[in-house]
Structure 1
Amino acid sequence: MPNQFLHTDQEQRSSVIYSTSMGKAGLFIPADYIGSNNNDAIIDETEDDEGTSSSGDNLHSNNNINDQTATEPVRLTKNSDELEFLLGDEDDDNNNNNNRFMHYQSINEAQENHNRNSITEQPIQHSRATSMCKSLIDEERDLLIDNKLLNNTVGQRSRGNSIVESMYGNIEPVDAEVAGEVINTWNDAIDSGKPIQSSFKRETQVIAFNALPLIFTFILQNSLSLASIFSVSHLGTKELGGVTLGSMTANITGLAAIQGLCTCLDTLCAQAYGAKNYHLVGVLIQRCATITILAFLPIMYIWWSWSETILSWMIPERELCVLAAKYLRITALGVPGFVLFECGKRFLQCQGIFHASTIILFVCAPLNALMNYIFVWNKTIGIGYLGAPLSVAINYWLMAIGLMLYTLFTKHDSNPMKCWNGIIKKRQIFKNWRKMFGLALPGIIMVEAEFLGFEILTIFASHISTNALAAQSIVSTVASLAYQVPFSISVSTSTRVANLIGASLYKSCIITCKVSLLLSFVCSSFNMMIIVTFRDQIAKLFSTEKAVVNLVISALPILAFMQLFDAFNASTAGCLRGQGRQKIGGYINLFAFYCIGIPMSYMLTFTFNMGIGGLWFGITCALIMMSICQGYAVFHGDWNQILQAAKLRNAEGARVN
């Protein structure tokens, strides 16, 4: 049976660590460094209704896979959605096709039952699988039509299907006849060795279409820190430097570690859910949240009592340390909400619900901007500088509450509350916590590495002058905002590349990589033009201090030049993720950033007196190195080895699920 864009399991998921820093987010996700073939990572406990535990009784074994019915869904991942379609005995192609036709017939029966107002849980699952299957069938159909292996009338019949209204929204059914024709044609093409190849036009459409919603999501996430910077920047140079230092310190000492620790849920919860051990998902979420909050309490105490003293050891301006310490104290009040949001996001994602956090951000991002204006500038209730961290703290809690309300009241057919079995008992909190930390440690290291890099640049800027620190925060904010477009293309690319590799269409994968580089060049050229053309307006938008404005204007041309290589770096990183070669990119990033970028930034800034322009010129040199090395790795890899590794991961994913 051909792998119909079936690519992989946990190791290659296109999940993203959303950064709340002014730096760039998620070049390589921490989960990339957790191997999927990790027996220790597999869930070894289940929780029954009374809270007792046992070792892996509900986990599917290889024998269990063969005992599953033809309509048993298997978890897959595509375009940040969970794909479900049926896998029968992989050793028998004819069996698979028959099983899939049985599935389509059961779907049609489910839809008829729905029209008779007698929907049960099983037809609901079928309706969901129907929609997901159709997206795969449509992609294969379009490729077959492009390669003149399928008559275009099949595509017209498929697109002409009626819409069936289900109790959970509009679901487009799979036409069994069309699906069968597509499947058989695909099988015949594979068996006879006929080439199936995509085109530049199709790959451009697919990548652009998938990247567009991601752009809005990432910009909304980035706006949380942008609103604080923008609102405080007009209070004065010292306030802008204080919020920059406070925000970066909060990220490196707290939020980054929290994000890294929560990445263990990407593996644990997904495996528990795939094994249908639904109640264990809720136990793991609560355990991680509780342990994370307890681990943060010492950090919270340091933020309250010692942050000013510790910062003064590294920052020469005492007033900046005072302002940063105030920021940390207020922000600490919202950190438990941030923990609950990160855990809640993964609670839903493991069940295939990826859009919930985006919906919450569509509400909270505008609220955050409004609260920043009210708390910072309003003459009646505004409190000035402290209004910025207060807005952040409140929004962390609002984000957590929003996810909770979504979970309770959503009509999504996954029914996320099936994974909740009440509050866990005290003795369950620290059960198997060592395994959780073992999985989280790589995530903590990788997230901290990126945050630490930008914290170092902030410290460098603080040793130049207060104005330089304020200018650095503005340039960093612009860089982060500009990065969201190429990063969205990168995420879309990684998913598409993984899909094509799963289908063994490596020649089409090469086309996708080239299209991704081309789109990145177009986007980076546009960003470069905007930054250069409107550099005066951008600088004055964030600050009214003439010295700060001049520093920003002098640094923005360097940032504009950096956009070319920043986009190439994002694009090639996405290609490597899709190929399943994340570690190569991770090593390249660490070497280029810490062995080239930061040392060169220091030398250019303090030895050659280039100011904050030297900071960004050093980072640009690192990005040039990353782009060259990653580009070489993408186009000069062993495709046979890449395809074989993907097949092995697919087989492992089917056994685990």
Structure 2
Amino acid sequence: MTSQFTHSSMGDRRSSIVYSTSVGKAGLYTPADYIASDVNELLGEEDEEDVEDRLSYNERNEDEYQSLLDASNARTLQREAQQSVIGEERAAKQLLQEERDLLVDNKLLKESRRAADGGLGYNSVEDSEEIIDTWEQAIENGKVISTSYRREVQVLGVNALPLIFTFILQNSLSLASIFSVSHLGTKELGGVTLGSMTANITGLAAIQGLCTCLDTLCSQAYGAKNYHLVGVLIQRCAVITMLSFLPIMYIWFFWSETILSWMIPERQLCELAARYLRVAAFGVPGFVLFECGKRFLQCQGIFHASTIVLFFCAPLNAIMNYVLVWDKRFGIGYLGAPLSVAINYWLMAFGLFLYTIFTKQDIKPLKCWNGFIKPNQLFKNWKKMLSLALPGILMVETEFLGFEILTVFASHLGSTSLGAQSIVATVASLAYQVPFSISVSTSTRVANFIGASLYKSCIITCKVSLLLSFACSSFNMFLILGFRTQIAKMFSNEPDVVDLVISTLPVLAFMQLFDAFNASTAGCLRGQGRQKIGGYINMIAFYCIGLPMAYLLTFHFKMNVGGLWLGITCALIMMSVCQGFAVFHCDWHEIISAARNRNAETARV
């Protein structure tokens, strides 16, 4: 969800809704993009007690709800979509400020004094009413309101900056393990790469996919003011996920080495990966609780809690990796890396728990928690939850599987190539965080303009997004090219690995241009509400072009690790071209109409 313009009282001018954001390195989409569900159907099989609670609540508050609904015809504030780090009131002010800036740019409103409160251009009810009235009069008189390139550079840049730090913090969890283990030796680097990728594809990705059902169910339950049901759904999902992981954990402990040896020729790599999995398994329950807890807060509009937790856990993870891997007194060598990961998963879950209890937010998340539910309630209505979870698992697993295949390809080239592949993949993932942040900011901005029926401003935003992405990718490209030797030596002191990384990084540098364009155009499509188009393009390009090309270039043309990334670059070129065509050759009026229909349905719910 995203912040939106809510300026107009006209019934046909509602904000657009962005259902999700892209996840992961390949640019694929979260499962919510592919799920079209009716809220009554999803919530129609609740426990009888839950239904009675909701009906009773609605009856008690019918008059209040009706008055709020009437007021929203004049000024709709979609609260859950507007929550951000500074809270609900701040989000509403920020939206008014964006409207005010557009009016000033179009010479429809004079520059007013800056408010002492946060530097916004208004500080009273009269100021905000002036913005609203001026906007609506301009629309009624047929005046064109348009943004400018300068304005969009400023807005996209400011919005993307905090996201960059957030995504880098998330990425640093795996970066720390790769960095600490890489200096132990080539075999250890290959083992931690294979182990972490196997953990992702067989465990963590499935957990993330399964928990995506909460994105739909909890958000809709919260929007229906059925707060008790939110807590019930969180607990059910946690139990389902824990039970689903038990057989996976058994395989990690007793069968992982054998199964990996079927695909990986080097037995020592399989042994090291299996040791990684056995230790990392102890942290998976903490990861489950973190994913469920994150969605428990996000459905209430609290999106920054996980960032705060990561702000503490990411540096702690780096310190623990050094201490547990290298310290002479406490270090245990290779196994220190998975142990650090396992401990931090539990710390992340504990951090969200503390935030939920002690937060000073205006929104009190504990209102959705009415204690532990009865054991017989845990096992009700699993079918509905699984019907949403299974598509989620499929989509998330699809992306992780793609990069697991690259890792398997590299393992057949030897431990040196596998180690080099691990380093190059880590650098690629880190470089992707900047254009991905711009992508998320773009989707928000485009959705806002679509909700305001300002499609010409959407086009300007999309063009600016592409320009910013080009600037960022050019910077990444020259940085990787200029410091490729230093980057390689930072991760490894093995001469063969360093040489292979140095020879591969120019391919990765070239890829940055198209990686950024892919992220930018994906953000534009999400803002337009056309996620499915981008998802289909990504899957076709990745699995029909990228992976086959990677295999041919690597094994048939003997290009080693460079062939893997050149194949992915071919896929990214197709993604960028096709998504760019879809963004700029579309029926904007149809997109705006679809946004109105979505919001009309939301209003009825």
Please indicate the TM-score interval, normalised by the length of the shorter structure.
Answer: over 0.9
Q: In structure 2, what is the Cα distance between the partners aligned to 1:354 and 1:643?
A: 27
Matching residue's letter, 1:425: K
Answer yes or no: is 1:149 the counterpart of 2:108.
Answer: yes
Report the counterpart of residue 7 of structure 1 in structure 2: 15
Where 1:333 maps in the other structure, the secondary structure is helix
Report the counterpart of residue 133 of structure 1 in structure 2: 92
Unpaired runs of 5+ residues, structure 1, are 84-127, 164-169
Match of 2:55 among 48, 54, 57: 57
RMSD: 2.3
Q: In structure 2, what is the Cα distance between the partners aligned to 1:615 and 1:432?
A: 44
Identity over the aligned pairs, expressed in percent?
Answer: 70
Match of 1:418 among 349, 367, 373: 367
Match of 2:329 among 364, 380, 387: 380
Cα deviation for residue 279 of structure 1 reads 1.1
Q: In structure 2, what is the Cα distance between the partners aligned to 1:385 and 1:312?
A: 20
Answer yes or no: is 1:571 the counterpart of 2:494.
Answer: no
Q: In structure 2, what is the Cα distance between the partners aligned to 1:25 and 1:566?
A: 9
Cα deviation for residue 307 of structure 1 reads 0.3
Distance 1:270 1:493, change over 3 A: same
Cα deviation for residue 14 of structure 1 reads 4.3
Cα deviation for residue 4 of structure 1 reads 11
Cα deviation for residue 275 of structure 1 reads 1.0
Are the aligned partners of 1:27 and 1:570 in contact in 2 as well (CA < 8 Å)? Answer: no
Report the counterpart of residue 160 of structure 1 in structure 2: 115
Distance 1:367 1:5, change over 3 A: farther
Cα deviation for residue 67 of structure 1 reads 5.6
Tell me the alpha carbon deviations over residues 47-72 of structure 1, each in whole angstroms, 9 at most, x when there is no partner: 75xxx6559636979x9864646568
Are the aligned partners of 1:78 and 1:495 in contact in 2 as well (CA < 8 Å)? Answer: no
Distance 1:162 1:576, change over 3 A: closer
Matching residue's letter, 1:143: L
Distance 1:181 1:299, change over 3 A: same
Q: In structure 2, what is the Cα distance between the partners aligned to 1:25 and 1:3?
A: 39
Cα deviation for residue 192 of structure 1 reads 1.4
Cα deviation for residue 296 of structure 1 reads 0.3
Q: In structure 1, what is the Cα distance between the partners aligned to 2:310 and 2:71?
A: 36
Distance 1:3 1:567, change over 3 A: farther
Report the counterpart of residue 315 of structure 2 in structure 1: 366
Cα deviation for residue 2 of structure 1 reads 4.8
Q: In structure 1, what is the Cα distance between the partners aligned to 2:208 and 2:423?
A: 24
Cα deviation for residue 634 of structure 1 reads 0.2
Where 2:109 maps in the other structure, the secondary structure is coil
Cα deviation for residue 36 of structure 1 reads 5.2
Are the aligned partners of 1:315 and 1:463 in contact in 2 as well (CA < 8 Å)? Answer: yes
Alignment of 1:487-498 (within 5 A): 487-498=436-447
Distance 1:370 1:248, change over 3 A: same
Answer yes or no: is 1:81 the counterpart of 2:84.
Answer: yes
Q: In structure 1, what is the Cα distance between the partners aligned to 2:345 and 2:444?
A: 29
Distance 1:173 1:457, change over 3 A: same
Matching residue's letter, 1:356: A
Unpaired runs of 5+ residues, structure 2, are 1-8
Match of 1:441 among 390, 394, 416: 390
Match of 2:574 among 625, 632, 635: 625
Cα deviation for residue 496 of structure 1 reads 0.5
Matching residue's letter, 1:142: D
Report the counterpart of residue 250 of structure 2 in structure 1: 301
Where 2:55 maps in the other structure, the secondary structure is coil
Q: In structure 1, what is the Cα distance between the partners aligned to 2:462 and 2:431?
A: 21
Q: In structure 2, what is the Cα distance between the partners aligned to 1:617 and 1:441?
A: 32
Report the counterpart of residue 182 of structure 1 in structure 2: 131
Are the aligned partners of 2:100 and 2:131 in contact in 1 as well (CA < 8 Å)? Answer: yes
Alignment of 1:495-574 (within 5 A): 495-574=444-523
Where 1:438 maps in the other structure, the secondary structure is helix
Q: In structure 1, what is the Cα distance between the partners aligned to 2:116 and 2:12?
A: 21
Q: In structure 1, what is the Cα distance between the partners aligned to 2:48 and 2:71?
A: 26
Cα deviation for residue 133 of structure 1 reads 2.4
Cα deviation for residue 139 of structure 1 reads 1.1
Tell me the alpha carbon deviations over residues 48-102 of structure 1, each in whole angstroms, 9 at most, x when there is no partner: 5xxx6559636979x986464656886446576399xxxxxxxxxxxxxxxxxxx
Distance 1:69 1:449, change over 3 A: closer
Are the aligned partners of 2:446 and 2:527 in contact in 1 as well (CA < 8 Å)? Answer: yes
Report the counterpart of residue 98 of structure 1 in structure 2: none
Matching residue's letter, 1:653: T
Cα deviation for residue 262 of structure 1 reads 0.5
Cα deviation for residue 27 of structure 1 reads 3.7
Report the counterpart of residue 92 of structure 1 in structure 2: none
Are the aligned partners of 1:376 and 1:388 in contact in 2 as well (CA < 8 Å)? Answer: yes
Are the aligned partners of 2:168 and 2:430 in contact in 1 as well (CA < 8 Å)? Answer: yes
Report the counterpart of residue 216 of structure 1 in structure 2: 165
Distance 1:245 1:79, change over 3 A: farther
Are the aligned partners of 2:480 and 2:505 in contact in 1 as well (CA < 8 Å)? Answer: yes
Are the aligned partners of 2:82 and 2:92 in contact in 1 as well (CA < 8 Å)? Answer: no
Report the counterpart of residue 42 of structure 2 in structure 1: 41
Report the counterpart of residue 33 of structure 2 in structure 1: 32
Match of 2:556 among 593, 602, 607: 607
Matching residue's letter, 1:553: I
Distance 1:42 1:632, change over 3 A: farther
Cα deviation for residue 45 of structure 1 reads 2.3
Match of 1:234 among 183, 198, 201: 183
Matching residue's letter, 1:508: S
Report the counterpart of residue 271 of structure 1 in structure 2: 220
Tell me the alpha carbon deviations over residues 516-539 of structure 1, each in whole angstroms, 9 at most, x when there is no partner: 000000000000000000000000
Are the aligned partners of 1:252 and 1:455 in contact in 2 as well (CA < 8 Å)? Answer: yes
- Please, which moves more after superposition, 618-627 or 39-48? 39-48
Distance 1:43 1:373, change over 3 A: farther
Matching residue's letter, 1:326: R
Distance 1:162 1:341, change over 3 A: closer
Tell me the alpha carbon deviations over residues 129-178 of structure 1, each in whole angstroms, 9 at most, x when there is no partner: 5433222211111101100111223xx2xx22557xxxxxx999851111
Where 2:370 maps in the other structure, the secondary structure is coil
Q: In structure 1, what is the Cα distance between the partners aligned to 2:350 and 2:48?
A: 26
Are the aligned partners of 2:439 and 2:519 in contact in 1 as well (CA < 8 Å)? Answer: yes
Report the counterpart of residue 6 of structure 2 in structure 1: none
Report the counterpart of residue 93 of structure 1 in structure 2: none
Answer yes or no: is 1:342 the counterpart of 2:291.
Answer: yes
Tell me the alpha carbon deviations over residues 187-208 of structure 1, each in whole angstroms, 9 at most, x when there is no partner: 1111111100000000110000
Q: In structure 1, what is the Cα distance between the partners aligned to 2:437 and 2:85?
A: 19
Q: In structure 2, what is the Cα distance between the partners aligned to 1:36 and 1:494?
A: 22
Q: In structure 2, what is the Cα distance between the partners aligned to 1:602 and 1:29?
A: 27
Cα deviation for residue 39 of structure 1 reads 4.4
Match of 1:593 among 531, 538, 542: 542
Q: In structure 2, what is the Cα distance between the partners aligned to 1:357 and 1:336?
A: 17
Report the counterpart of residue 205 of structure 2 in structure 1: 256
Are the aligned partners of 1:79 and 1:495 in contact in 2 as well (CA < 8 Å)? Answer: no
Distance 1:59 1:535, change over 3 A: farther
Matching residue's letter, 2:115: G
Tell me the alpha carbon deviations over residues 270-313 of structure 1, each in whole angstroms, 9 at most, x when there is no partner: 11111111111111111101110110000000000100000000
Report the counterpart of residue 91 of structure 1 in structure 2: none
Are the aligned partners of 1:43 and 1:268 in contact in 2 as well (CA < 8 Å)? Answer: no
Distance 1:570 1:637, change over 3 A: same
Distance 1:415 1:503, change over 3 A: same
Matching residue's letter, 2:158: F
Q: In structure 2, what is the Cα distance between the partners aligned to 1:590 and 1:58?
A: 46
Are the aligned partners of 1:5 and 1:499 in contact in 2 as well (CA < 8 Å)? Answer: no
Distance 1:616 1:644, change over 3 A: same
